[in-house]
Chains A and B, each alone.
Chain A
Amino acid sequence: MSATANQSSKTSNTTGRLSGDRLVELYRTMVLSRYLDERVWLLNRQGKAAIAASAQGHEATQVACIEATDPSQDHYLIYYRQFTAMLALGTEPEEMLRGFLAKEADPMNAARQFPLHGAHPRVDLFNFSNVIATQLPQAAGVALADKLKGSDAVTIVFFGDGASSQGDTHEAMNFAGVHKLPVIFFCENNRYAISVPLENQMGIESVASRASGYGFPGVQVDGTDVLAVHEAMTAAVDRARAGDGPTLIEASVERLLPHTTDDDHTRYRSADDIEKMSDRDPISIMSELLKRSDLLTDSQDESIHANAKKRVNHATDTVDAEPYPGVESMFDHVLEGSANGGNS
């Protein structure tokens, strides 16, 4: 099957499989994500957070993607931009901040790695490294194990348009296609690999169109549209659980901020390009959708924003005062049994 166009109309006035209450919940997570994301950048500018990548612009696609999965059994191989996805999976703002501020209680990696790396303590979400696209073959392996075990679990692996150029992406999709593995390749295409625009990354229009080369469906969706993403993901999850194999989903999103706190996108994006992105801010789009569908009032919206801000302030105060890990834990977990003392 070749890439298909957005199967969910933006003008859809239904809420699909999602209830109104759930939609408001997703919106709440998106707003919390936005405030926390902004706070992390402020902490960086204060010299407290060494580095941060932003999910601003990716919030809708991430909440909708997670919403279609089953956190009690599914696997999530993320990369460094799944900030909102982590919140959607129940990560507390304090836990997120501990990663950014490298605090001792960081649940993902005990401040050994950059934020959003390591493994989640409660759901099977992990990200081993900073090297782009290495998670894709690993996701195929995770899915292979589920297939061998006869498990119903689905593996969702996130990557960006930049990662789509890597050989590992090809190898992973090829392997998953051969073995019809229960894996969903979820590409958040924000059109930039740091500074390199899409036209310099690929000779085709869409990442999703590549799926035909591997023998499974590729779907392109508007990543600012929660309903569209959720519908595409639901279909992919159903397909995977039924044993019919992988799906490649390409969600078009905007990267509202530079690549990371160390980047300045005015060096490579035109003022016009940057200006136009605000039309595709998923928070405004979602807010309008909810209000248009009579699921949210202005005052409720204000309250959601106010609560998010309060929550983030509280989390910041708490985590800012926490200690860094001491030297003694540096030797733990090199190999099994190497806690304290180390095993080279």
Chain B
Amino acid sequence: MAEQTVIEAVRQTMLAEMKRDDSVIVLGEDVGSRGGVFLATDGLVEEFGENRVIDTPLAESSICGVALGAAVNGMRPIAEIQFADFVWPAINQLVGEASKVRYGTNGVKNAPMTVRVPYGGGVRGGLYHSQSIEVLFAHTPGLSVVAPATPYDAKGLLVSAIRSNDPVIVLEHKRTYRLVKGDVPEENYSIPIGNAEIKRPGSDLSIFTYGLMLHYSLQAAEMAAASGLNVEVVDLRTLRPLDEETIAESASRTGKALIIQEDTPAVSISSEVAAIIGEKCFFDLDGPITRLGPPEIPPMPFSPVQEAAFMPSPEKILDAINKLAQI
């Protein structure tokens, strides 16, 4: 079993899937000889040629529109959006079009396409290299949205996305690319879309989170353990459909729910998780459903001081754990 970073797991997975299935192609800005700005596609053009690893013009709507067209004509395209912040021109082709292909044609057509979107902050990215864009996609019936935070999950969920017969948005947190290393089995495996995972079992309260915040939450849970608190950490992994069963089971068992996210909280994933817990776990709750997120300002300032103030951190999460635990 090899230890890999998240980005290496992503790259290796695409390599393996392209070897396995000729219909898998990659397209995006700089994905060819540059290997992608994060090097997720490093070496792929050498292996599979320019027909299957396509350097596109700098135009996101056509990247996703072309991927959609190819998908309805027998391909399994993986479109790379260079930075999540640049996905907005392509929203129409994804939220407006791809999500409704199967439904709008009564099942005659379907769009087996994957869109990889590096997102998130804490990388000195300022307003346009730091955004979290998950909400709009996660709001849309007909799309699936996954957000793996570990190398193991990055592989398993990317495999599921590529092999899915419907469009899947794969959110990869930029900060985790080279920050997180973990074991990735070489053999073929996949993780079903829609399954959350308890990454750290506990009994005093449940944290629900995803992406980079998973790692910060795990750190905070370790710190809390020093003062005798036993914190459970649930990695949502899939943001649409949310794993309501796992969420409700954990919240009901511990009676206290703390939702951590890097995205601004208003009308967000944390809102939805809170609603699920409110609806399904009311009579098991022993404290207010609590959310921790950044302030409601455009994410996120370029100033290192302001960026640090914006991002949730293990210390801030620990603070939230302690407050909720003592209620």
Q: Are B103's CB and A333's CB within 8 A?
A: yes
Q: Which residue of chain B is the closest to A178 with respect to CB atoms?
A: B57
Contacts of A117 in B (CB 8 A): 104
Within 8 A of B (CB), among A155-194: 167-168, 171-172, 174-175, 178-179
**Known: A128-B104, A131-B97, A171-B59. Is A336-B165 also a contact (CB below 8 A)?**
yes
A256 CB, nearest partner CB in chain B, Å: 29
Q: Are B69's CB and A144's CB within 8 A?
A: yes
- Please, what's the 1-or-0 string for A87-111, where 1 marks a CB less than 8 Å from any CB in chain B? 0000000000000000000001110
B110: CB under 8 A from chain A?
yes
Q: Are A148's CB and B104's CB within 8 A?
A: no
B229: CB under 8 A from chain A?
no
Contacts of B164 in A (CB 8 A): 336
A59 CB, nearest partner CB in chain B, Å: 26
Which one of B29-37, B60-68, B123-131 is at the A interface?
B60-68
B322: CB under 8 A from chain A?
no
B240 CB, nearest partner CB in chain A, Å: 8
Distance of A13 Cα from B226 Cα, bound (Å): 94
**Known: A129-B100, A148-B52, A335-B142. Is A140-B62 also a contact (CB below 8 A)?**
yes
A121: CB under 8 A from chain B?
yes
Distance of A79 Cα from B77 Cα, bound (Å): 24
- Please, what's the 1-or-0 string for A113-148, where 1 marks a CB less than 8 Å from any CB in chain B? 100011111000010110100101111111111111
A259: CB under 8 A from chain B?
no
**Known: A118-B106, A141-B71. Is A128-B100 also a contact (CB below 8 A)?**
yes
A277: CB under 8 A from chain B?
no
A267: CB under 8 A from chain B?
no
B248 CB, nearest partner CB in chain A, Å: 16
Q: Are A145's CB and B65's CB within 8 A?
A: no
Contacts of A280 in B (CB 8 A): none
B304: CB under 8 A from chain A?
no
B108: CB under 8 A from chain A?
yes
B223 CB, nearest partner CB in chain A, Å: 36
**Known: A109-B106, A140-B66, A142-B69. Is A167-B97 also a contact (CB below 8 A)?**
no
Counting chain A CB atoms within 10 Å of each CB, which of B51, B56, B73, B77 scores highest? B73
Q: Are B69's CB and A145's CB within 8 A?
A: yes
Counting chain A CB atoms within 10 Å of each CB, which of B56, B108, B165 scores highest? B108
**Known: A141-B73, A149-B74, A334-B142. Is A172-B62 also a contact (CB below 8 A)?**
yes
B18 CB, nearest partner CB in chain A, Å: 13
Q: Are A171's CB and B62's CB within 8 A?
A: yes
Q: Are A121's CB and B108's CB within 8 A?
A: yes
- Please, what's the 1-or-0 string for B66-91, where 1 marks a CB less than 8 Å from any CB in chain A? 11111111110100000000000100
A14: CB under 8 A from chain B?
no
Counting chain B CB atoms within 10 Å of each CB, which of A75, A134, A139, A174 scores highest? A134
Q: Are A175's CB and B66's CB within 8 A?
A: yes
Contacts of A146 in B (CB 8 A): 73
- Please, what's the 1-or-0 string for B129-144, where 1 marks a CB less than 8 Å from any CB in chain A? 0000000000001101
Q: Are B75's CB and A131's CB within 8 A?
A: no
Q: Are B104's CB and A145's CB within 8 A?
A: no
Contacts of A332 in B (CB 8 A): 106-107
A39 CB, nearest partner CB in chain B, Å: 24
Q: Are A336's CB and B105's CB within 8 A?
A: no
Distance of A171 Cα from B52 Cα, bound (Å): 20
Measured as residues with beta carbon below 8 angstroms from the partner, the interface class of chain A is: 35 or more
B244 CB, nearest partner CB in chain A, Å: 10
**Known: A110-B106, A145-B75, A149-B74. Is A175-B165 also a contact (CB below 8 A)?**
no
Q: Are B65's CB and A174's CB within 8 A?
A: no
Contacts of A72 in B (CB 8 A): none
Q: Which residue of chain A is the closest to B52 with respect to CB atoms?
A: A148
Contacts of A140 in B (CB 8 A): 62, 65-66, 69
Q: Are A142's CB and B62's CB within 8 A?
A: no
A343: CB under 8 A from chain B?
yes
Q: Are B104's CB and A335's CB within 8 A?
A: no
Contacts of A168 in B (CB 8 A): 61-62, 65, 92-93
Contacts of A149 in B (CB 8 A): 74
**Known: A137-B93, A334-B141. Is A142-B70 also a contact (CB below 8 A)?**
yes
A280 CB, nearest partner CB in chain B, Å: 34
Distance of A136 Cα from B105 Cα, bound (Å): 18
Contacts of B142 in A (CB 8 A): 334-335
Distance of A120 Cα from B57 Cα, bound (Å): 31
**Known: A141-B65, A175-B56. Is A129-B108 also a contact (CB below 8 A)?**
no
Q: Are A134's CB and B70's CB within 8 A?
A: no
Q: Are B51's CB and A333's CB within 8 A?
A: no
Contacts of A121 in B (CB 8 A): 108
Q: Are A129's CB and B62's CB within 8 A?
A: no
A112: CB under 8 A from chain B?
yes
A163 CB, nearest partner CB in chain B, Å: 13
B230 CB, nearest partner CB in chain A, Å: 33
Distance of A326 Cα from B166 Cα, bound (Å): 25
Contacts of B104 in A (CB 8 A): 109, 112-113, 117-118, 128-129
B54 CB, nearest partner CB in chain A, Å: 8
Within 8 A of B (CB), among A40-59: none
Residues of A within 8 A of B (CB): 75, 77, 108-110, 112-113, 117-121, 126, 128-129, 131, 134, 136-149, 167-168, 171-172, 174-175, 178-179, 332-336, 339, 343-344
Ordered by A's residue number, 7 sampled pairs between the chains whose C-beta atoms are within 8 Å are: A121-B108, A134-B65, A139-B69, A141-B65, A145-B69, A168-B61, A174-B62
CB-based closest 7 A-B pairs: A141-B69, A137-B65, A171-B62, A138-B69, A119-B105, A141-B66, A145-B73
Residues of B within 8 A of A (CB): 25, 51-52, 54, 56-57, 59, 61-62, 64-75, 77, 89, 92-93, 96-97, 100-110, 141-142, 144, 164-166, 240-241
